Structure 1
């Protein structure tokens, strides 16, 4: 199949485009969220950068939507309406925002575009209304067992921790910094020291590293800290588990399903997590033992082959139910999906998870 999708969530896309299809990623001269293309990533040759306006609309077999405004963009540029005369599926990456658990999904009033939630927690907490739903849990391209744990510090990967604040558990970092020094990786960490008051010896900002360098440097930390309160399921957490790192995680959202107790420590009690952090920092062998358990759990549940097989089934179902172009009886419900489009469509419903 020839599948159109935008490069929105890098880590998720990294797994998705390793399947057996042809993947078309819109590119613009200035890049940005609507034209990032491959962004220099080492992806298979089956991942092609395309100029959307020059694309043959009839050559596309399906579109994978990740932002509600993408449906209107496809219709405007290609003249084919997702869910009406172009097979489409919507991937919901994020936890709901607003009046949880009563938050109605922006595509909840239509039936033509199924919603694929990336976690069971998301499907449970979003009110998906009339829309068909399915859960396809994350898959990770295994980076291998790289853990050394040679540095007695906690590694944290979080994007925009200052802006996102309590969502990412930024306010908890000073408490963890008293248990062990922190190395913080990710985009938008400027001002983190000032925002948290953590002194330089206890906080090192590593910034946004390339994936291979991130894995290498993160693996040197004694344990991985996942302080996020309200996120779908940070892919960095799953990557850390694949690397063989023991993990310390808040038992919130999908983390409670993803992290078994033997993989480190998972709790809503911050003091319990701090005690475990000190234990792991002071006992490298115990840290290594729990890290191996974390890797085993991640490989079992979040392997790439299972992820791609699940998506193959969804895409096959889309192809089998391919709508006829020009079908009038589906126009009304299909248009309902497009009414939620626009740059502010989700401003009250959710905040993009940039991990």
Structure 2
């Protein structure tokens, strides 16, 4: 399995298997190895030594990985070695008519991470599975002592409307918003807003504590899969204000926050939670209970065990 999405991979390699992570000398996107991650069951393997490994199944996440696996192991994914393709993303460019790269193969199943993605991609004749996200429980951390809003977005300026970056300024007109993540340092100036503050990319534990100190968590992406940062906020016991798009409506129940596609409704909800700490705490408790039940790590790993057993069989 390639190291592509670090947070997702952290959950995946917590299972009861052995994981080989390819590494190339330049440590680029096609072989970054462990990247310093503490994954006890995973081993970093130089790309030119993969041919010596006993491989039971290959986890693909990008189309080019089929070509790399052939070149590096001399084996054909889905033919010589069982394979699955994990689709992390919503379809692009078209919401309903985009054909999946694996759609013409029936020997490599597609594993979708949300029901929405499974529905919207044109999967063709490829078998599909659903394995919802699951994350390690960061614990209840909510304090809400800061009467400000928090969100976590990586590279919000570059990703723009996809992550709803343009919505941050209007959403902050009543309560300031602090944005954590890579490439956020100049966010306020890029938006021309003094009420949106980019906090930079903190270490994982530090950022969770910092975010949990805010009164409300806001989730603005228009067209992404269910963000793991949203699930982290819910696990920590935060009330959620989010766009009612993609998988968010089935993830955040009505008593855990407010979902709407009306920016004024969302801004008002942020203001109400900020003004009523007790309501924020109550919504956050429901938020945590829902996330633990639906997106816990144990369920995620059990679902993956079932998929792997079926594919190998």
SS of 2:96 mapped into structure 1: coil
What residue in structure 2 maps to residue 22 of structure 1? 18
Query: How far apart are 1:106 and its partner, in Å?
Result: 1.1
Q: Counterpart of 2:158 in 1: which secondary structure?
A: helix
Q: 1:76 aligns to what?
A: 71
Consecutive unaligned residues in structure 2, runs of 5 or more: none
Unaligned runs of 5+ in 1: 321-355
The partner residue of 2:60 within 65, 78, 94 is: 65
Aligned to 1:221: 214
Per mean C-alpha deviation after superposition, the further-off stretch among 131-140 and 31-40 is: 31-40
State the match for 2:114 in structure 1.
119
CA contact 1:57–1:80 (8 Å) conserved in 2: no
**What residue number does 1:274 align with?**
267
- 1:192 counterpart residue number: 187
CA distance in 2, matches of 1:243, 1:311: 24
Match of 2:148, SS?
strand
Select the structure with the greater relative contact order (CA < 8 A; seq sep ≥ 6).
1
List aligned pairs for 1:5-16, cutoff 5 A.
5-16=1-12
Q: Is the 8 A contact 1:183 1:205 kept in 2?
A: yes
Q: TM-score, normalised by structure 1?
A: 0.86
Matches within 5 A, 1:171-320: 171-199=166-194, 202-320=195-313
In structure 2, the residue matched to 1:326 is none
C-alpha displacement of 1:32: 2.4
Flag the 1:11–1:58 CA change in 2: closer, same or farther, 3 A: closer
In the other structure, the counterpart of 2:162 is: 167
The alpha-carbon deviation at position 102 of structure 1 amounts to 0.8
Contact kept in structure 1, 2:238 and 2:288, CA below 8 Å = yes
Q: Could you list the per-position Cα deviations for residues 236-260 of structure 1 after superposition, in whole angstroms to 9, with x for gaps in the alignment? A: 0001000111111100000111111
Number of equivalent positions: 313
**TM value normalised by structure 2:** 0.97
